[in-house]
Structure 1
Amino acid sequence: MKLTYLSAALLLASPLLQAQSLDLNLTNSMPAIEKLYLDLHQSPELSYHEQQTGKKIAAQLTKLGFEVTENVGGYGVVGLLKNGNGPTVMIRTDTDGLPITEQTGKAYASKVTVTDAQGATVGVMHGCGHDIHMSSFVGTAQQLVKHKDAWQGTLMMVAQPAEEVGAGAKAMLYEGLFTQYVKPDHIIALHVSASVPAGKVALKNGYTMASVDSVDISIKGKGGHGAYPHTTIDPIVIAARTVLALQTITSRELSPLEPSVITVGSIHGGAKHNVISDEVKLQLTLRSYNPDIRNAQIAAIKRITAGIAQSAGLDEALYPTVHVHEDESIPSTYNTPAQTNLVRQSIANAIGAGNVLDTPAVMAGEDFGLYGRTDENIPITLFWLGGVNQQKYVEAIKTGNTLPSLHSSKFAPDYKVALPTGIKAMSNAAVALFNQ
Structure 2
Amino acid sequence: MHVIRSSLTKPFSAALTAFLLAWPTLAHSADLPLAPAVLAQLNAVVDQDNPRLLAIFKDLHQHPELAFTEVRTAAIVAKELKQLGFSVTEGIAKTGVVGVLKNGPGPTVWFRADMDAISVKEATGLAYSPKQKQKLADGSEVDVMHACGHDAHITWLLGMAKAMVALRKDWSGTLVVYAQPAEEVGLGAQAMVDDQLWERGFAKPDYAFGAHTAPGPVGYVSSSAGVRMAGVDQLDITFKGIGGHGSTPQMTIDPIVMSAQAVLAYQTIISRNLDPQAAAVLSVGAIEAGRDNNVIPETALLKLNLRWFTPEVRAQILRRIDEINQGIAVAAGVPADKMPVRTMKGHSGPLINQRELVETINPALVQLLGADQVIDQFPAVMGSEDFQEVFNLHQTPYVFILVGVAPLAQFTAARAKGQPFPYSNHNPNFFVDLAAIPIGVKANAVAALSVLKKTPQ
TM-score (norm 2): 0.83
Q: Matches of 1:36 and 1:57 in 2, distance apart? A: 10
> What is the Cα deviation at residue 239 of structure 1?
3.4
> What is the Cα deviation at residue 268 of structure 1?
4.6
Q: Tell me the residue number matched to 1:425.
A: 443
Alignment of 1:305-320 (within 5 A): 305-320=325-340
Q: Tell me the residue number matched to 1:359.
A: 378
Q: Matches of 2:349 and 2:309 in 1, distance apart? A: 8
Q: Matches of 1:70 and 1:124 in 2, distance apart? A: 24
> What is the Cα deviation at residue 350 of structure 1?
1.6
Q: Matches of 2:289 and 2:69 in 1, distance apart? A: 33
Equivalent position to 2:62, from 38, 42, 50: 42
Alignment of 1:240-255 (within 5 A): 240-255=260-275
Work out whether residues 32 and 367 of structure 2, in 8 Å CA contact, stay in contact via their aligned partners in 1: no
Q: Tell me the residue number matched to 2:181.
A: 161
Q: Which amino acid aligns with 1:189?
A: G
The alignment status of 1:182 with 2:200, answered yes or no, reads no
The alignment status of 1:414 with 2:404, answered yes or no, reads no
Q: Which amino acid aligns with 2:449?
A: V
Work out whether residues 218 and 321 of structure 1, in 8 Å CA contact, stay in contact via their aligned partners in 2: yes
Q: Tell me the residue number matched to 1:340.
A: 358
Q: Tell me the residue number matched to 1:3.
A: none
Q: Which amino acid aligns with 2:180?
A: Q
Work out whether residues 371 and 378 of structure 1, in 8 Å CA contact, stay in contact via their aligned partners in 2: no
Q: Matches of 2:290 and 2:134 in 1, distance apart? A: 31
Q: Tell me the residue number matched to 2:413.
A: 395
Q: Matches of 2:337 and 2:449 in 1, distance apart? A: 60
Q: Tell me the residue number matched to 2:19.
A: none
Equivalent position to 2:114, from 71, 76, 94: 94
Q: Tell me the residue number matched to 1:375.
A: 393
SS of the residue aligned with 2:302?
Answer: strand
Structure 1 range deviating more: 123-132 or 133-142: 123-132
Q: Tell me the residue number matched to 2:11.
A: none
Q: Tell me the residue number matched to 2:9.
A: none
SS of the residue aligned with 1:30?
Answer: helix
The alignment status of 1:15 with 2:35, answered yes or no, reads no
Q: Which amino acid aligns with 2:381?
A: V
Q: Matches of 2:214 and 2:225 in 1, distance apart? A: 17
Q: Matches of 2:259 and 2:123 in 1, distance apart? A: 36
Alignment of 1:256-267 (within 5 A): 256-267=276-287
Show CA shifts across 1:96-119 (max 9, x none).
Answer: 233333322222222233322343
Work out whether residues 102 and 111 of structure 1, in 8 Å CA contact, stay in contact via their aligned partners in 2: no
Work out whether residues 109 and 174 of structure 2, in 8 Å CA contact, stay in contact via their aligned partners in 1: yes
Q: Matches of 1:279 and 1:270 in 2, distance apart? A: 8
Equivalent position to 2:225, from 198, 201, 205: 205
Show CA shifts across 1:138-171 (max 9, x none).
Answer: 1111222222233211101111122222232122
Work out whether residues 371 and 380 of structure 1, in 8 Å CA contact, stay in contact via their aligned partners in 2: no
> What is the Cα deviation at residue 272 of structure 1?
6.9
Q: Which amino acid aligns with 2:101?
A: L
| Structure 2 CA distance for partners of 1:79 and 1:246, relative to 1, 3 Å | same
> What is the Cα deviation at residue 229 of structure 1?
6.3
Q: Which amino acid aligns with 2:155?
A: S
Count of paired positions: 419
Q: Which amino acid aligns with 1:15?
A: D
TM-score (norm 1): 0.87
Structure 1 range deviating more: 42-51 or 140-149: 42-51
Work out whether residues 218 and 433 of structure 2, in 8 Å CA contact, stay in contact via their aligned partners in 1: yes
SS of the residue aligned with 1:27?
Answer: helix
Q: Matches of 1:281 and 1:208 in 2, distance apart? A: 32
| Structure 2 CA distance for partners of 1:111 and 1:227, relative to 1, 3 Å | closer
Q: Matches of 1:395 and 1:68 in 2, distance apart? A: 44
The alignment status of 1:404 with 2:423, answered yes or no, reads yes
Q: Matches of 2:70 and 2:294 in 1, distance apart? A: 47
Q: Which amino acid aligns with 1:427?
A: A
Q: Which amino acid aligns with 1:188?
A: F
| Structure 2 CA distance for partners of 1:222 and 1:123, relative to 1, 3 Å | closer
Q: Which amino acid aligns with 1:129?
A: G
SS of the residue aligned with 1:15?
Answer: coil
SS of the residue aligned with 2:209?
Answer: strand
Q: Which amino acid aligns with 2:167?
A: H
Q: Matches of 2:76 and 2:295 in 1, distance apart? A: 55
Work out whether residues 65 and 134 of structure 2, in 8 Å CA contact, stay in contact via their aligned partners in 1: no
The alignment status of 1:135 with 2:135, answered yes or no, reads no
Q: Tell me the residue number matched to 1:193.
A: 214
Alignment of 1:11-90 (within 5 A): 15=31, 17=33, 19=35, 22-23=39-40, 24-25=43-44, 26-90=46-110
SS of the residue aligned with 2:48?
Answer: coil
Structure 1 range deviating more: 65-74 or 308-317: 308-317
Structure 1 range deviating more: 143-152 or 385-394: 143-152
Work out whether residues 111 and 123 of structure 1, in 8 Å CA contact, stay in contact via their aligned partners in 2: no
Q: Matches of 2:53 and 2:406 in 1, distance apart? A: 19
Q: Which amino acid aligns with 1:22?
A: L
Q: Matches of 2:203 and 2:311 in 1, distance apart? A: 28
The alignment status of 1:126 with 2:146, answered yes or no, reads yes
Show CA shifts across 1:58-113 (max 9, x none).
Answer: 22212222111222221221111111111100111112233333322222222233
Gaps of 5+ in 2: 1-28
Q: Matches of 2:108 and 2:349 in 1, distance apart? A: 24
Work out whether residues 17 and 346 of structure 1, in 8 Å CA contact, stay in contact via their aligned partners in 2: yes
Give me the identity figure in percent: 38
Gaps of 5+ in 1: 1-12
Work out whether residues 89 and 186 of structure 1, in 8 Å CA contact, stay in contact via their aligned partners in 2: yes
Q: Which amino acid aligns with 2:275?
A: S
- CA RMSD of the aligned region, Å? 2.7
